[in-house]
Homo-oligomer: A and B are copies of this chain.
């Protein structure tokens, strides 16, 4: 791609990096992307509610929405745009109608994480002035670059000889494991013949392309709410049923669910809250956690154990517990034809093509929901990784990506999209 486009995409990535937003609250992010898309001029553009089913996983609270809207307004998001997303249905889908041919979908995700970014002098975003403006908000997984890549590919495909329909999905709420399921429910992927999902970083050097990543862990999240009985902690502790003690018993034992010989498993309690004041035996407490496994069976093994641990821990302290699982995400399978198409495209740009060596083991991706949806309809799908020489691991305060990955990914994906059309 030309250097003018390249510098524009880098600028876009840095702009988004500076204003990370949590899933279902990507107000500024969606607005900024839509601005770019409108400049390119797709044939159709769907924003916010138009790309989602009504029922979402992990919707934000009214308070969270209010706070995010306020911040978006302060940042100067256009009110017209804001009106389309302010209820928390975020993201966008651009469509190019370029004659007869297959329907190809490129999916990128756009949300940030609820963690603070490093301000160390060695951290590039800090050194170059585009570190996150907000406490407890950070693009620590490269979704800022994904958004830029999506814009770049849209523009390049528009200008290319591609024949068919090309869609780029700027998906929200990936980190919540929620956005993909919602888009699947909207019907926008039903006509897709080929799906390309993309991720940068992966602890791999820039210039390396992994055309078919399958080593994602199946995942599911859950929330558990413990209800006990309040009591004065001094006068009548015996009359309470201590919800925080129940929750704490569960936390320890959840992490101690037996390992499984059939493959890798993960358990994490990532969030807890409970009680009101030190002198009241706490009546309620809640936790949010997740389980992952290399197969769906392992995930189910963990889910089953987790329920038993949660219910027994509640009972142990004379409390009740309500356990709600999310929809989760399965593991991925990549189709050879698409993997080959990406490999060829990568080779054409002097990239080093390597197979998935389990590098993603431990990670999960709700793109797998989109992949399964496309495959169920007879389409093909793959998940493409682009090394970006990230200095530290994903989800850490000093995560960053080598911006050289942006033009390379645009070029390789554009060529892969083109070759898919040709192959038909």
Contacts and interface: CB of A to CB of B under 8 A. Distances in A.
Nearest to A223: B278
Contact of A278 (B235, B256, B268): B268
Interface string A362-399: 11100000000000000000000000000001111100
Interface string A100-126: 000000000000011100000000000
Interface string A34-47: 00000000000000
Contacts of A136: 276
Contact of A265 (B221, B259, B274, B308): B259
A314 to B, nearest CB: 8
Contacts of A252: 245, 248-249, 252-253, 256
Contacts of A238: 258-262, 301
A349 interface: no
Contacts of A282: 269-271
A281 B317 CA distance: 24
A270 B277 contact: yes
A353 B361 CA distance: 30
A256 B259 contact: no
A66 interface: no
A281 B114 CA distance: 12
Contacts of A115: 230, 276, 280, 283
Contact of A312 (B264, B270, B272, B312): B312
Given A270-B282, A276-B270, A237 B258 contact: yes
A59 interface: no
A394 B232 contact: yes
Given A253-B252, A261-B361, A234 B318 contact: no
Interface string A223-264: 000000011111111111010110111011101101111101
Nearest to A229: B396
A280 B312 CA distance: 24
Contacts of A364: 234, 279
A402 B271 CA distance: 43
Contacts of A265: 259
A315 interface: yes
Interface residues of A, number: 81
A271 B278 contact: yes
A193 interface: no
Contacts of A240: 258
A332 interface: no
A288 interface: yes
A175 interface: yes
A313 interface: yes
Nearest to A365: B234
A230 B269 contact: no
Contacts of A396: 230-232
A235 B288 CA distance: 18
B316 A309 contact: yes
Nearest to A302: B238
A295 to B, nearest CB: 13
B264 A230 contact: no
14 contacts: A114-B280, A237-B260, A237-B362, A239-B393, A244-B269, A245-B252, A268-B281, A270-B275, A270-B280, A271-B282, A272-B275, A272-B285, A273-B273, A280-B395
Q: Which 7 A-B pairs have the closest CB atoms?
A: A312-B316, A233-B268, A255-B256, A248-B248, A232-B395, A248-B251, A235-B362
